[in-house]
Amino acid sequence: MSPGVYLFRNAAGVVIYVGKASNLRNRVKSYFGSKSALSTKTVRLVAMIADVEFIIASTEQEALVLEADLIKQHRPQYNARLKDDKSFPFLKVDVRSEWPTVSVVRRRVDDGSRYFGPFASARAVRQTLRVVRRVFRFRLCSGPLDGTRSKACLNYDIGLCPAPCIGAITHEEYRKTVEHMVLFLEGRYRDVLDSLRAEMNEASEKMDFERAALFRDRVQAVDLVTNRNVGVTALRGDQDIIAVAQESSSALVEVFSVREGKVQGRQDFPVEGTGSLAAPEVLRSFVLQYYRVASTVPPTILLQHIIDDMSLVRSMLAELRHGSVQMIAPRTGVRKQLVDNVADSVSRQLLSFSVASGRGLQLRDAGLKELKDVLGLGSIPHRIEGFDISTTQGTESVGSLVVFEDGVPKPSDYRRFRIRTVSGQDDYSMMHEVLLRRFSKLGRSGSVSKSVKASNRWGDVPSLVLVDGGRGQLGVALQARHECGVDGIPIIGLAKEHEYVYSESRSEPMGFVQDSPGLRILQAVRDEAHRFAITYHRGIRRASMIVSALDSVPGIGPSRKKALLRAFGTVDSIRQASVDELVQKAGLPIPIARRLSEWLAAHEE
User: Where residue 489 falls among pLDDT bands split at 50, 70, 90?
Assistant: very high
Directed axis angle between helix 40-48 and helix 24-31, to 10°? 100
Cβ atoms of 251 and 80 within 8 Å: the answer is: yes
Average pLDDT, the chain: 80
| Residue 232 pLDDT exceeds 50 | no
Range of the domain at 271: 239-345
CATH of the domain at 333: 3.30.420
Cα 6 to Cα 29: distance, rounded to the nearest angstrom: 12
Question: Is there a domain that residue 196 lies in?
Answer: no
Q: Look at residue 231 in the predicted model and tell me its pLDDT.
A: 44
Under the banding of pLDDT at 50, 70 and 90, the label for residue 548 is low
| Same domain, residue pair 323 and 456 | no
Top mean pLDDT of 117-121, 282-286, 509-513 is at 282-286
Q: Does the residue 315 lie in any domain?
A: yes
pLDDT digits (tens, 9 = 90+) for 135-165: 777 777 766 676 667 777 777 776 777 787 8
Q: What is the CATH number of the domain that holds 563?
A: 1.10.150.20
Q: 178-208: b or e for each residue (b if 16 or more CB lie within 10 Å)?
A: bbbbbbbbbbbbeebbebbeebbeebeeeee
* Residue 448 sits in the same domain as residue 512: yes
What distance in Å separates the CA atoms of residue 10 and residue 19, rounded to the nearest whole number?
15
- 3-class SS of residue 388: strand
Shared-domain flag, residues 495 and 564: no
pLDDT of residue 480: 92
Backbone angles phi, psi at 80, to 5 degrees: -70, 135
Q: Are residues 402 and 520 in the same domain?
A: yes
The answer to whether residues 271 and 340 belong to one domain is yes
Question: 86 or 406, which is more confident?
Answer: 406
Query: In the prediction, which pLDDT does 362 show?
Result: 66
195 located within any domain: no
Instruction: Answer yes or no: do 462 and 562 share one domain.
Output: no
Q: Is the four-CA dihedral 18, 23, 25, 30 of positive or negative sign? A: negative
Residue 131 has pLDDT above 70, yes or no: yes
Whether the predicted pLDDT of 356 surpasses 50: no
Looking at the fold, whether 259 and 332 belong to one and the same domain comes out as yes
In a domain, 498, yes or no: yes
- Range scoring the smallest mean pLDDT among 41-45, 406-410, 454-458: 454-458
Q: State the pLDDT confidence band at 202, using cuts at 50, 70 and 90.
A: confident
More confident site: 540 or 152 = 152
My answer on whether 372 and 283 are in the same domain is no
Q: Average pLDDT for residues 251-276, to the nearest whole number?
A: 81
Share of the chain above pLDDT 90, in %: 13
Q: Which residue has the higher pLDDT, 346 or 41?
A: 346
Q: What percent of the chain has pLDDT over 70?
A: 83
Question: 3-class secondary structure for 390-445?
Answer: EEECCEEEEEEEEEEECCEECHHHCEEEECCCCCCCCHHHHHHHHHHHHHCCECCC
CATH number at residue 507: 3.30.420.340
3-state helix, strand, coil in the chain (%, to 5): 45, 20, 35
Is 50 exceeded by the pLDDT of residue 233?
A: no
Q: Which of 103-117, 291-305, 357-371, 441-455 has the lowest mean pLDDT?
A: 441-455
- Cα 63 to Cα 65: distance, rounded to the nearest angstrom: 5
Quick one: average pLDDT of 40-50?
83
| Confidence at 125, pLDDT banded by 50, 70, 90 | confident
Over residues 90-114, mean pLDDT: 82
Question: Which residues on neighbouring strands pair with residue 92, listed in sequence order?
Answer: 103, 115
Q: 355 lies in a domain?
A: no
* Closest of 231, 299, 241 to residue 262, by C-alpha: 231
Residue 266 inside a domain? The answer is yes
Q: Specify whether 331 is located in the same domain as 367.
A: no
Residue 239 in this model has a pLDDT that exceeds 80: yes
**364 and 340 in a common domain:** no
The predicted-structure confidence for 329-348, as pLDDT tens digits, reads as follows 988 877 888 888 888 878 77
Residue ending a domain, among 27, 49, 79, is: 79
* pLDDT level of residue 446 (50, 70, 90 thresholds): low
CATH number at residue 12: 3.40.1440.10
Give the residue with greater pLDDT, 54 vs 38: 54
Domain boundary at 79, 112, 135, which?
79
In sequence order, the 6+-apart residues with CB closer than 8 A to the CB of 466 are 384, 385, 386, 387, 491, 492, 493, 494, 522, 525, 526, 529
Structural contact between residues 277 and 216, judged by C-beta atoms closer than 8 angstroms: no
**Among 173-177, 436-440, 594-598, which range has the highest average pLDDT?**
436-440
Q: Residue 355 has what pLDDT?
A: 45
Domain end (from 79, 97, 121): 79
CA distances from 50 to 19, 20, 27, 37, 45 (A): 16, 19, 17, 21, 10
Examine the domain organization and report whether 324 and 376 are in the same domain.
no
Q: What is the pLDDT of residue 545?
A: 53
Region 551-570 average pLDDT: 76
Instruction: Report, as an integer, the average pLDDT of 432-456.
Output: 67
163-190 per-position pLDDT tens digit: 878 777 778 888 888 888 888 877 777 7
pLDDT at residue 452, as a whole number: 45
Which is more confident, 220 or 583?
583
Higher-pLDDT residue of 536 and 397 is 397
Q: Are residues 387 and 520 in the same domain?
A: yes
Evaluate whether residue 141 is within a structural domain: no
- When pLDDT is averaged across residues 193-203 and rounded to a whole number, the result is 81
Q: Which residue has the higher pLDDT, 449 or 508?
A: 508
**41 and 58 Cβ atoms separated by less than 8 Å:** no
Does 450 have pLDDT greater than 70? no
Residue 162 inside a domain? The answer is no
Average pLDDT of the segment spanning 429-455: 70
Q: How many domains in the chain? A: 4
Quote the pLDDT of residue 451: 47
| Among candidate residues 279, 359, 287, the one with its CA nearest the CA of residue 527 | 279
Per-residue pLDDT at 501: 92
